[in-house]
């Protein structure tokens, strides 16, 4: 399994994914779930994937191949050359449907699940920040001011902190702390989510991704994790008792 989270703020986009793939207790591996396409100053697009690894890798390969071909032939449409990022989300959905049509029956015949979801985020020159969640069927939704974040994979453990903290006005620094706390909560409660982590920040109108790989010995992440745990224990001990 996996956990990926994306925030759409007035200040920019904040994205975080883990790298664990679990096909049984004795078959655990690391695979990148975050993929960044960028042309600094023009456009940046990030994809994060959860679900059947064969399906999601097929979709990402399809998208990446189109981006490569479009650099040679301007007539070819890709997520880096399409008119809007909404159209880009449609293209990811079309790729999802194509891979599902090709592989789903065989995957399910082997007793495995073929479901997959993808978060797509980015900005083009002259356009707005966009954050989409593309489903197995190829349809999608977009984050807005009422719901400024999207999650895929094992999302339930990391949701409470986002509900309490994240608003469109949240700063990027606070948002990074929030997604790291969200991921830490998930890591503690679900063994199918694991280190290392991939972090991507896309400040509004900069049209360039700031990426970082966070390993288990990352000093700031360990400090955030330990501080959050200590703060929760202190807050719990300070709660009023209930008379019985």
- The pLDDT, as a whole number, for residue 21 is 78
Q: Domains in the chain, ordered, with CATH?
A: 3-232 (3.60.20.10)
Query: How far is the CA of 36 from the CAs of 4, 180, 232, in angstroms?
Result: 14, 19, 35
Interacting residues of 66 by C-beta distance below 8 A, sequence separation 6+: 76, 77, 78, 79, 91
**pLDDT category of residue 28 using cuts at 50, 70 and 90:** low
Phi-psi region of 114 (alpha: psi -120 to 50; beta: other; left: phi over 0): alpha
pLDDT band at 1 (very low <50, low <70, confident <90, very high): confident
Q: What would the mean pLDDT of 108-119 be, rounded to a whole number?
A: 96
pTM attached to this predicted model: 0.95
Res. 128: pLDDT tops 60: yes
Instruction: List strands edge to edge, sheet with 197-203.
Output: 149-153, 3-9, 12-17, 197-203, 210-214
User: Cα torsion for 105, 106, 107, 109, to the nearest 10°?
Assistant: 80
The overall average pLDDT reported for the chain is 95
């Amino acid at each position: 399994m996996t956990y990926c989270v994306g925030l759409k703020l007035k200040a920019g986009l904040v994205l975080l994914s883990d790298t664990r793939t679990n096909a049984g207790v004795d078959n655990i591996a690391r695979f990148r779930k975050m993929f960044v396409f960028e042309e600094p100053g023009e456009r940046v697009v990030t994809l994060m994937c959860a679900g059947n690894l064969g399906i999601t890798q097929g979709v990402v390969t399809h998208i990446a191949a189109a981006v490569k071909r479009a650099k040679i032939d301007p007539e070819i449409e890709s997520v880096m050359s399409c008119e809007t990022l909404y159209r880009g989300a449609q293209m990811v959905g079309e790729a999802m449907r194509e891979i599902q049509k090709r592989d789903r029956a065989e995957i399910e015949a082997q007793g495995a699940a073929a479901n997959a979801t993808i978060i797509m985020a980015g900005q083009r020159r002259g356009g707005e920040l966009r954050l989409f969640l593309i489903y197995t069927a190829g349809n999608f939704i977009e984050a807005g001011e009422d719901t400024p974040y999207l999650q895929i994979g094992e999302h339930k453990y990391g949701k409470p902190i986002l509900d309490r903290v994240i608003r469109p006005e949240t700063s990027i620094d606070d948002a990074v702390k929030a997604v790291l706390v969200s991921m830490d909560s998930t890591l503690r409660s679900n063994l199918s989510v694991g280190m290392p982590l991939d972090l991507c920040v896309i400040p509004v109108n900069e049209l360039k991704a700031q990426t970082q790989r966070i390993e288990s010995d990352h000093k700031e992440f360990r400090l955030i994790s330990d501080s959050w745990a200590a703060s929760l224990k202190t807050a719990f001990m300070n709660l009023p008792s209930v008379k019985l």
